[in-house]
Amino acid sequence: MPTPHNSAKQGDIAKTVLMPGDPLRAKYIAETYLENVTCFNTVRNMLGFTGTYNGTEVSVMGGGMGMPSIGIYSYELYKFYGVENIIRIGSAGGLSDDVHLRDLVIAMGACTNSNFAHQYNLPGTFAPIADFELLRKAVEIAEQKGVKANVGNVLSSDTFYTDDVNENDRWKRMQVLCVEMEAAALYMNAALLNKKALCMLTISDHLYTREELSAEERQTSFHEMMEVALELA
């Protein structure tokens, strides 16, 4: 049944959902890659679509910015709509010298400065990680397509603008590849609900070289990541 944030009915959403942060990127993917597309959600303009890709049913829906937002949307998809796999396809800021503009990063783990895990009242620190089968398959698909995939730790940050001018240096020293804002919450929801999740990112800017893509380029140019995710679905 519909939730406060999703007007879809049972059966409207596929078992696998691709989840960019930007709902306009979801619209772009649906219009560019999917056939027989239907729109299942417009609540708060968080657009969601279901269609087929090479005969396989797949959905794509925006997840918003930050862990509270993707935390709500991914929880509802897993808990109330029977979704089994969510593949986040987002943008990230490069930290490592080994990643460059437009590179693909696959998040094996997601460090975080968020307090999202506090709700579980765990007797220690939880380490959010990707589903191994999705991760392995994504790497294999990338290799088949000749796409270099950087696999490792990312940072899911609660802050885009930080008052700590040395924060990035400390994460970089720990071999964190890049920073984004959602993967840790997605991975925690998947763990809690015994579902599967993977986060794939395209480097849209680099925090040390200062290179960056425009907003329009972020919305429409992440084709390699989109195609790997669609094959994974």
Instruction: Supply the residues annotated as catalytic.
Output: 205
Whether 87 and 229 have beta carbons less than 8 Å apart is answered as yes
Distance CA 155, CA 177 (A): 8
Using alpha carbons, select from 92, 61, 99 the residue that is nearest to residue 77.
61
Q: Which residues contact 74 (CB under 8 A, 6 or more apart)?
A: 19, 63, 86, 185, 186, 189, 190, 197
Whether 87 and 106 have beta carbons less than 8 Å apart is answered as no
Whether 176 and 169 have beta carbons less than 8 Å apart is answered as no
Whether 75 and 86 have beta carbons less than 8 Å apart is answered as no
The string of DSSP letters for 8-59 reads PPTTSS-SEEEE-SSHHHHHHHHHHH-EEEEEEE-GGG--EEEEEETTEEEE
Burial 117-136 (b: 16+ CB within 10 A, else e): beeeeeeeebebbbbeebbe
In the beta sheet, which residues pair with residue 181?
none
Total number of residues shown for the chain = 233
